[in-house]
Amino acid sequence: MPRTSTGIDLIKIPAGEFWMGSPESDPQGNEDERPYHRVQISRPYSLGKYPVTVGQFQQFVRDTGYRTEAETGENKGAVGLDPASGKFEHKAEFNWQHVAFPQTDRHPVVHVGWNDAIAFCHWLSSREGQHCRLPTEAEWEYACRAGTTKRFGDSDDEETVKRIANIADAALRKRLPTAETAAPWNDGYPFISPVGQFRPNAFGLYDMQGNVWEWCADWYGFDYYASSPVADPPGPDSGTHRVLRGGCWYTGVRSARCARRFGFQPEVRSDCMGFRVAVDG
């Protein structure tokens, strides 16, 4: 398995075809996940085995002196959970180095916006001599499904989620009684978990669902699937929001579905958002 000089393990994803989105038969499907449509990924690529970690992002900052959008400009800070109040609040002191709950070098980096993720990919490309980037939304879902058509990867059963994803559950509810979407099980992680603590999918990728929403390269289009090309869809030509995929530690089972998609302004930062890198070839 290849590894970058910064310690990012990469999984080779083969070219292939898959069904993207939610069929009408899925009662949890959203309208922006339809129509259910066939997609071809025409070229193999590599994808990070895990989301980018705090330690890996720290190497980028040390190498370049980069300051994230949460650390610069007039609107400093990010949106994060205040465990004391149980509410998400924008605080000027929140950034990738300052999260409201404990983080180690093995936790996914958060409080990074889409532009910060792109800056990291540009640095990694220069360092590795390869084209490193964010995955397209289609590449992300193809890798998440890993050859299946089930809602949660290899199963339609919600109980599957406890083995593959850090989502809102009894561990979070114990700390935040207001977490109404919490699942009944307890995975021991009320907030973000270190990467790789749950079962990988058939491609060997960890944390594709839960833990942190992951930025994708595409602009978000609510009805894009209606006109999406079959081969290597790149997303809309323009927009105001970028795609996020995978759900997070604060969302419920429904957001752990492979088809779940979400859009947010690229400059938004929160402790629910991170990213994973793709490499061409």
Tokens 């949106």 belong to residue: 79
Task: Please check whether residue 4 lies inside any domain of the structure.
Answer: no
Q: Where in the chain does DSSP place strands (E)?
A: 10-13, 16-20, 37-41, 45-48, 78-82, 87-91, 132-133, 213-219, 242-245, 261-264, 273-275, 278-280
Here the tokens at position 63 are 């190498």
145 backbone dihedrals φ, ψ, rounded to 5°: -70, -35
Answer whether residue 155 is part of any domain. yes
CATH classification of the domain holding 177: 3.90.1580.10
CB 212 within 8 A of CB 256: no
Among residues 169, 162, 167, the alpha carbon closest in space to that of 184 is found at 169
Query: Residue 95: what are its φ and ψ, rounded to 5°?
Result: -160, -175
> Which residue in 198, 219, 211, 221 sits closest to 256, CA to CA?
211
**In a domain? residue 30:** yes
- Contact by Cβ (8 Å): 8, 48: yes
pLDDT at 180: 82
Is residue 140 included in any domain, yes or no?
Answer: yes
Quick check: pTM over 0.85? yes
pLDDT of 16 reads 98
In a domain, 3, yes or no: no
Number of domains in the chain: 1
Q: For residue 2, is it within any domain?
A: no
Q: Identify whether 5 is part of a domain.
A: no
Euclidean distance between CA atoms 32 and 21, whole angstroms: 8
Question: Mean pLDDT of residues grouped by 10 in the chain (281 residues)?
Answer: 88 98 95 98 98 98 98 93 89 96 97 98 97 98 97 95 98 90 95 98 98 98 98 98 98 97 97 98 84
* Helical H segments across 109-250, by residue range: 114-128, 137-145, 161-164, 170-175
CA angle 192, 197, 203 (to 5 degrees): 115
Quick check: is 1 in a domain?
A: no
* pLDDT value for 178: 84
User: What's the confidence (pLDDT) of residue 84?
Assistant: 81
Structural domain containing residue 257: 10-73+80-280
pLDDT at 1: 56
Phi, psi of 223 (to 5 degrees): -110, 25
